[in-house]
Amino acid sequence: MKNTACKIVVYPLIIIFFSIVGCSKENLNQKDKKVLLVFCGITMVNPIKEIAKKIEKDYNCKIEILQGGSEDIYQSLKMSKKGDLYFPGSDSYRKKHLSEGLLSDFMFVGYNQLSMIVAKGNPKNIDADIKNLLNPKYLVSIGNAESSSVGKQTKKVLKIAGIYEKVLLNATKIASDSRTMNNLLKEGAADIILNWRATANFPENKDIMEALILDESIAPKKKLMINLTTCSKNIEIAKAFMLYAGSQEGQKIFYKYGFLDEIIEDRKFNEL
């Protein structure tokens, strides 16, 4: 790290078992609505909220969105064994945890892609060269590889480039998730963040920051997949959620937030 004032920003694992039980019972007692629990990586919360409103209306249900770093929320799901959908920031989490038996059918809905993100208008004239993360004149933030999908992908990309350890030493903040990095940029505590490209398109960010697009040979797209869990108590509603997310209407939502470059025909389930 650059100096003694620098600190690692790492949030503890989100312990939500008791809150899940409490919220579920409370909502079930109110109007006898079924409660769908969605474990969602922080980056994808905006489109998931929009889809949730549609499904709540159509199925007269309540949808609880439990958000956090992709690994953290999986461990919370694993601990509680309560939840209907798991939506991490990369398909690598499905591959990593599939053998544990908690994940079932899935729906492909879009992509995440790493990008260098800077303040709107790029006032420091930073070009889209990943080696700028090594420049000591810039305040740099990257994600924590142990807690988030963006951190995991960052480590992979920078390892391939042969600069991961050097970037760690130059970074002023190691952030727990994508939202934390965006806040650091907004606060002026970072000049460059290496974050998911889509986050620069979010309504709360688009007038404040912009993405410097990296070539796919450096930063390949990572597939986004919504996973049905094997502990789901609301399979019909969960599958309806997945189907809507993969429909053309759902794709328009993901496109709006920067997770898709084009809209195609309705997508289908991928079943185990």
pLDDT in tens, 93-112: 999 999 999 999 999 999 99
Helix (H) or strand (E) holding 66: strand 62-68
Ordered by where they begin, the domains of the chain are 17-111+223-256 (3.40.190.10), 114-212 (3.40.190.10)
Please tell me the distance from the alpha carbon of residue 81 to that of residue 231, in angstroms, as a whole number. 6
**pTM of the predicted model, to two decimals?**
0.80
Q: What is the pLDDT of residue 236?
A: 96
3-state secondary structure of 216: coil
Helix (H) or strand (E) holding 118: strand 114-119
Helix (H) or strand (E) holding 77: helix 70-80
Tell me the two tokens of residue 200: 């620069």
Instruction: Indicate whether 10 pLDDT > 50.
Output: no
- In the structure, what pLDDT confidence band is assigned to residue 272 with cuts at 50, 70 and 90? low
Q: What is the pLDDT of residue 22?
A: 47
